[in-house]
Amino acid sequence: MASILIADDEAGIRQFLRIVLEGGGHRVWEASNGKEAAALNRRAKLDLAIIDLPGLVLLTERRRKSNRAVTRNRMVQKEVIRKSRILIVDDEPANVLLLERILQQGGYTNFNKTTDPRQVLEFFKVYQPDLILLDLMMPHVDGYSLLTQLRSRIPDNHYLPILVLTADVTPKAKQQAFSLGAKDFLTKPFDATEVLLRVYNLLETRWLAVQLQEQIKALENPSE
């Protein structure tokens, strides 16, 4: 078990990291500003610091010398995000084509697609996507059923975001999708700017989680 400090002024990021870390059995300390972080650094015996606050140069430099500091704003490079594997699932070819064009405009080049929801599980197994864009209303197998099936194939400590595509903006639809594992919503008709922002944010969080797990593994197995 590692003792880890999360220093970030974004409450949502701190909450996400806490869930991931405590799920792995680690002790978590939180700081929303430099003063709190500095105080915790003096008081707690930290194994790792995840930092995204201005004015924490001393803390960062001290930990970096032993390879135990992670600056969140440097952890995930844009090139890594742009090369992420994205799976598009929508029974309407026009929607798939539009999403492909939007992703291309955003610099994404590694994406796959299917208009047949019955193929999704095989695509998931072979393609191993970093992000899934999933329509809810489809024939044969709807998005809700696919969310249930995919959730059983994604380990609890594995963050793989699913972005739901739907024209149904009712609270019931959102609640059901979120309860089944969806991470965000895109409403139809698509707005290109919104699509790219939500895709980027989810992928950034995905790679943050991946690299965080690698850092923790390195702490737990220093000889590897």
And the tokens for 155?
């380990």
Whether residues 112 and 54 fall in one domain: no
pLDDT at residue 110, as a whole number: 94
38 within some domain: yes
From 54, 75, 96, give the residue that closes a domain: 75
Residue 54 has pLDDT above 70, yes or no: no
- pLDDT class for 94, splitting at 50, 70, 90? very high
- The region of weakest confidence among 4-13, 62-71, 137-146, 173-182 is 62-71
Whether residues 68 and 86 fall in one domain: no
pLDDT tens digits for 55-73?
444 344 344 444 444 444 4
Q: In 3-state terms, what secondary structure has residue 64? A: helix
Q: How far apart are CA 46 and CA 164, in angstroms?
A: 38
Tell me the average pLDDT across 146-171.
88
Please count the helices (runs of H) and the strands (runs of E) in the chain. Answer: 10, 9
Longest dimension (CA), the chain: 58
Whether residues 168 and 179 fall in one domain: yes
- Which residue bears the tokens 């003063």? 35
- pLDDT class for 142, splitting at 50, 70, 90? very high
Residue 118 has pLDDT above 70, yes or no: yes
pLDDT at residue 130, as a whole number: 95
Whether residues 25 and 98 fall in one domain: no
24 within some domain: yes
Please give the residue that has the higher pLDDT: either 7 or 193.
193
The domain spanning residue 101 has which CATH number?
Answer: 3.40.50.2300
Residue 12 has pLDDT above 50, yes or no: yes
**Which residues touch 219 (CB under 8 Å, ≥6 apart)?**
2, 47, 48, 68
From 21, 41, 75, give the residue that closes a domain: 75
Whether residues 22 and 128 fall in one domain: no
62, amino acid identity: R
Whether residues 65 and 90 fall in one domain: no
**Domain tally, the chain:** 2
From 75, 90, 119, give the residue that closes a domain: 75
Angle among Cα 212, 215, 217 to the nearest 5 degrees reads 110
pLDDT tens digits for 203-224?
988 887 787 777 766 666 655 5
Q: How far apart are CA 176 and CA 28, in angstroms?
A: 30
Tell me the average pLDDT across 13-21.
76
Whether residues 191 and 121 fall in one domain: yes
14 within some domain: yes
The residue range of the domain holding 107 is: 78-206
